[in-house]
Amino acid sequence: MSTNTTSLKNRPSIMSMSARGVSTTGTSNTAVHSARPFRPCNDCTCSPGLLSRQGRRSLTFYKRMESSRRKKEGSNQQPTSDSASVYSSDTLCKTSREINTTGRLLALRKLMQKHDLGCYIVPSEDEHQSEYVSLADQRRAFISGFSGSAGVACITRDVLNFNNDDHVGKSILSTDGRYFNQALQELDYNWTLVRQGVDSVTWQDWCIKESAEMSLALGGKDVKIGVDPKLISYEQVTLFEKQINEMNNENDSKVSLVAIEENLIDSIWGKFEVVPEKPKNDLLLLSYDFHGEEFKAKRSRVLEKLKGSDKELKTTFIVVALDEICWFLNLRGSDIDYNPVFNAYLLINDDAETTLFTDDPYDEAISKYFKDNGITVKPYMEIWKYLDNYTQAICSKANEKHQILLSDNSSWKLVRSVSGTPYKTIHSPIDSFKSVKNQFEINNARKSQIKDAVCLVQYFAWLENQLVDKEILIDEYKAAEKLTEIRKTQKNFKGNSFETISSTGANAAVIHYSPPKEGSTMINPSKIYLCDSGSQFLEGTTDITRTLHFTTPSQEEINNYTLVLKGNLALERLVIPEGTTGFSIDAIARQFLWSHGLDYRHGTGHGIGSFLNVHEGPIGIGFKPHLVNYALRPGNIISNEPGYYKDGEYGIRIENDMLVKEAKNLKFGDRKFLKFENITKVPYCKRLINVGLLSDEEKVQINKYHDRIWNELVQFIQPQSISYKWLQRETSPLQ
């Protein structure tokens, strides 16, 4: 599952081209892309983006219905030809009315006036800075209509407009390269897209510039930029305020960033939709076989790292990240779809106290576990009152050396809550400890990969049989549901690790595409099919992408698939010295695409949790600056997923999960070397491989890999079944 962004302009399709220089919001066209202009049809209020979110694709079935209707009505219009492709993904506008974001923005701007705000920021994250959030925390999706996992919405209110009933302003959505196409489809005419890493302006620049212009127009009056302090990290606030001060000093404007405790989106949400409730699901306690390190051992290890050399210094550490809390306590939850985590805060100190703040229920066995390990449980929202009392108690002990440590991803609200006492922000040692799997976790990861590989072989064999041999029509969504059904047959399956990306043809070029339940596109066996999916087993988390073709691919598709495969293989073969970061090796996977003037707009790899989040920090393979700080270490599990996407035509991605290992017998002075082991067991698509582009080394590598897959999976596949025949064919040696 891809992460990050890079910049490459593919040729846009007509439907994905932005209306540059035209914005109904009045936003400048400098370095930003407007969402499609509003084009009404059938007297409805829908925009193309809103229709796209509903996944309304035109199928032959609908076309035939329309043709029939026209005939009955005696229409002079020509009926749609029966030869029209059943696999078309053209937008079909129905007459049912859709809600656009106009009313929501108006309601928001009224509240902004109440709080004297010129600009309001709506992040994607929850108060734990999670990448994926529960429905109750999807505020940015509510206000903008954009459903991707990453992005920031920024809304201005024209403070120069003194008509209290006429609340106008501008609104932008900033996101990364994974979501450019999706955002252009989903945003309605009120929004302008800012492309991270491509456009010269960032969302911070935009907010400051818009606010500064209003301030100067008002003769230097203070224009406030507001944000919920729970939803933005203190680190982001520090950098943002630095930019604001630079602008103020440069042009004598007066702009300030202010914390708005009342979340303005929450205040209006209920006027338009039923507001989702914050999940409170049962906790799950992992047995030793699944984690391999007891809580007390983890606690000692973390405290030793926190205290360092000053053993006299009393230390309190506040853990914010949900996956860190789960790993540390050997607990799992289900409060966020696809992520086995639960909403909580955690306080650790060296007085043998561990305080967990959560509202999630738990059984008697977990209650005993808490008691045996000295873990006190308090209500989730009590964290703020507790911190207030706790910091006051620390201040009253003047003779005692005490420091509060905060994770560097802590919210602005959390920092404000402890600012009256000595505190320091650090990168959480739990993050690094968690990313290095112990032998139990490594063995379990291997088991989870075998399980998922069996499922994917069964699925791909079934799908090919249905589409080609039986010529049955199957849409992307139903195909993805079938894969989940197959996975449910495996013991200890707890759900998917993210929403399955099941995409045919042009949809595969949308990097984080997910098929809609209603009106999903039919899978076209004469076009590329990309499936990016993963499982959550008690044993571990998987994330695997395979790109397939079920009939005869074009030479261009074959060649580009092979270039992506060569990059994947090169990264897998790589041997690196200790201390090497993922930032340093990203180019290895891109080199063959680069040699043909091609690239992809996402990172090459991300860490993977152990029955935890499918995207796990702090490591990764890509060009994000923070990756320079985190070297790869033995025990890391990381994805390897180069790709190529031709907008409007097809997409290619090949993703394996790799274990970082020590390379035995290799040493330069005192410096050891590391290598990668591909633990994914799903064959590549032979129809898409141009053997003539492969080196002898690459052919041997593929043949050995396929031989391992056959030997490890065949025992789990029924002989003479379509899965057996498919696996036998796909793992046969390249000639």
In the 3-class helix/strand/coil scheme, how is 363-405 assigned residue by residue? CHHHHHHHHHCCEEEECHHHHHHHHHHHHHHHHHCCCCCEEEE
Bond prior to 618 in cis (omega within 30° of 0): yes
Of residues 106 and 394, the one with the higher pLDDT is 106
pLDDT confidence of residue 7: 35
Per-residue pLDDT reduced to its tens digit, 440-477:
999 999 999 999 999 999 999 999 999 999 999 999 99
User: Could you give all domains of the chain from N- to C-terminal order, each with its CATH number?
Assistant: 14-52+97-269 (3.40.350.10), 284-435 (3.40.350.10), 439-730 (3.90.230.10)
83 — phi, psi (to 5°)? -80, 0
Compute CA 106 distance to the chain's CA centroid, rounded to the nearest angstrom.
29
Residue 532 host element (H or E): strand 529-533
Please classify residue 211 by burial: count the beta carbons closer than 10 Å to its beta carbon, then call 0-12 exposed, 13-18 middle and 19+ buried: buried
Q: How confident is the model at residue 420 (pLDDT cuts 50, 70, 90)?
A: confident
Q: How confident is the model at residue 24 (pLDDT cuts 50, 70, 90)?
A: very low
Quick check: 37 pLDDT over 90?
Answer: no
> Which three-class secondary structure state does DSSP give residue 139?
helix
Q: How confident is the model at residue 3 (pLDDT cuts 50, 70, 90)?
A: low
Residue 255 host element (H or E): strand 255-259
Cα 643 to Cα 647: distance, rounded to the nearest angstrom: 13
Give me the residues paired with residue 672 across strands: 667
pLDDT confidence of residue 301: 95
Mean of the per-residue pLDDT values of the chain: 87
Q: What percent of the chain has pLDDT over 70?
A: 85
Sign of CA dihedral 228, 232, 234, 238: negative
Strands 284-285 and 331-332: antiparallel
Other C-beta atoms lying within 10 Å of the C-beta of residue 282: 12
117 — phi, psi (to 5°)? -105, 140
Residue 440, CA atoms < 13 Å, CB-side half-sphere: 12
Quick check: 586 pLDDT over 70?
Answer: yes
Cα 724 to Cα 716: distance, rounded to the nearest angstrom: 9
Residue 484 host element (H or E): helix 476-487
Give the torsion through C-alpha atoms of 158, 163, 165, 171, to 10 deg.
Answer: -10
DSSP structural state of residue 54: T
Q: Are 653 and 532 in contact (CB under 8 A)?
A: yes
Q: How confident is the model at residue 331 (pLDDT cuts 50, 70, 90)?
A: very high
Give the torsion through C-alpha atoms of 455, 698, 637, 290, to 10 deg.
Answer: 40
Quick check: 639 pLDDT over 80?
Answer: yes
Per-residue pLDDT reduced to its tens digit, 121-138:
999 999 999 999 999 999
pLDDT confidence of residue 398: 63
670-673, long-range: CB < 8 A, 24+ apart: 671/577, 671/578, 671/579, 672/577, 672/578, 673/575, 673/576, 673/577, 673/578
Give me the residues paired with residue 648 across strands: none
Quick check: 323 pLDDT over 70?
Answer: yes
| pTM, rounded to two decimals | 0.86
Token pair listed for 168? 């106008």
Nearest CA to 178 out of 600, 680, 639, 718 is that of 600
Place of tokens 């009955």: 72
Quick check: 58 pLDDT over 70?
Answer: no
Place of tokens 């030479």: 555
Q: For the packed helices 696-713 and 439-464, what is the interaxial angle rounded to 10 degrees?
A: 90
Please classify residue 400 by burial: count the beta carbons closer than 10 Å to its beta carbon, then call 0-12 exposed, 13-18 middle and 19+ buried: exposed
Looking at residues 268-292, what average pLDDT do you find? Answer: 96
